[in-house]
Amino acid sequence: MAQASTDDTAGAAVNTSQADGCFTWDKELAEGAKGDAVTELQIRLGGYPASGEVLAPDGSFGPLTTAAVKRFQKAYGLSETGKADEATYNKIYELQDDDCSPANFDFAELNKCNSDWSGGMVSAATAKESAKRTMWKLQALRHAMGDESIRITSGFRSKSCNADVGGSPNSRHMYGYAADMGKTPHSLCDIAKAARNHGFNTILGPGYPDHDDHIHVDHKDSKTWEAPDCGI
């Protein structure tokens, strides 16, 4: 079982008996904490920033992380302390599979092109890690939309796969951190509107060229929200 690294800025020890095979937090974390344990927390809370914001997994527990913890706690009926405590970790463990993917998404859904994650614009390891970040944001989006299914139509693409589908020469899909969603129980516009609250810098949908049948999201550095038919 993976164990969180010791962090001098972390708080009280927590019971690790509920942990899973992916990552274990052994101490509470609060504002001011730094280190790998904070980074792992931020990845799992990436879907809980304020609307229009992105929570960077930088290993530094600042005000944006505190706010994200509170939003996560509120979403799951926990005490809104802003501190990553035992109850917070236990909820994450409940949502997390042993390969570090969230409960309702898996790596295969985010890679229908090349199972070893190679051939893109970044290393295979980087592409897979980026997909993990995206999946945790999608998990938050799914929960906010009533825990109903979200259909992923495209995720990571190698350069050859991207060319085969006519993707942009610099498509974010080749970096591993983009996902396309098709219509599900929710309309495309409902998905696009909800995505604004879950850490995506890019949201493209109906009314944007070649996006009338899906919603594209990614977390590149610059912000582009364009789904004109949805009022975005």
Bridge partners for 164 per DSSP: none
Q: Is the pLDDT of residue 139 over 70?
A: yes
Task: Give residue 11's pLDDT.
Answer: 81
Same domain, residue pair 7 and 42 = yes
Domain that holds residue 81: 1-100
Six token digits for residue 171:
């498509």
Same domain, 90 and 132: no
Per-residue pLDDT at 186 exceeds 90? yes
Per-residue model confidence as pLDDT tens digits over 30-86: 999 999 999 999 999 999 999 999 999 999 999 999 999 999 999 999 999 999 999
Q: Tell me what the mean pLDDT of segment 14-42 comes to.
A: 91
Residues 151 and 63 in one domain: no
More confidently predicted of 43 and 12: 43
* pLDDT in the model for residue 6: 46
Of 98 and 10, more confident: 98
Is residue 4 over pLDDT 70?
no
- Greater confidence, 205 or 1? 205
- Tokens of residue 136, six digits: 């945790």
Residue 45 belongs to some domain of the structure? yes
Averaged pLDDT for residues 201-218: 97
Active site residue 198: no
Reported as a single tens digit per residue, the pLDDT across 99-126 is 999 999 999 999 988 889 999 999 999 9
Q: Which one is catalytic: 143, 186, 198, 211?
A: 211
> Domain check: are 86 and 147 in the same one?
no
Q: Show contacts of 95-101: CB within 8 Å, 24+ apart.
A: 95/44, 95/139, 96/20, 96/22, 96/23, 96/44, 97/20, 97/22, 98/20, 98/21, 98/22, 99/22, 100/22, 100/23, 100/132, 101/132, 101/135
Judge if 129 and 84 occupy the same domain: no
CATH code at 145?
3.30.1380.10
Identify whether 109 is part of a domain: no
Q: Are residues 90 and 179 in the same domain?
A: no
Same domain for 11 and 96, yes or no, is yes
Per the structure, the count of domains in the chain is: 2
| pLDDT value of residue 137 | 98
Confidence of residue 7 (pLDDT cuts 50, 70, 90): low
We report the CATH number of the domain holding residue 45 as 1.10.101.10
pLDDT at 231: 97
**60 and 135 share one domain:** no
Asked if 215 and 203 touch (Cβ cutoff 8 Å), the reply is yes
Residue range 139-166: average pLDDT? 96
Average pLDDT, integer, range 152-178: 95
pLDDT of residue 14: 87
Mean of pLDDT over the chain: 93
Within this chain, do residues 90 and 140 fall inside the same structural domain, yes or no?
no
The verdict on pTM exceeding 0.85 is: yes
Q: Domain check: are 128 and 92 in the same one?
A: no
| Residue 106 belongs to some domain of the structure | no
3-state secondary structure 129-155: HHHHHHHHHHHHHHHHCCCCCCEEEEC
Same domain, 2 and 93: yes
Alpha helices in the chain (DSSP H): 36-44, 63-75, 86-95, 124-144, 159-164, 188-195
Phi-psi region of 77 (alpha: psi -120 to 50; beta: other; left: phi over 0): left
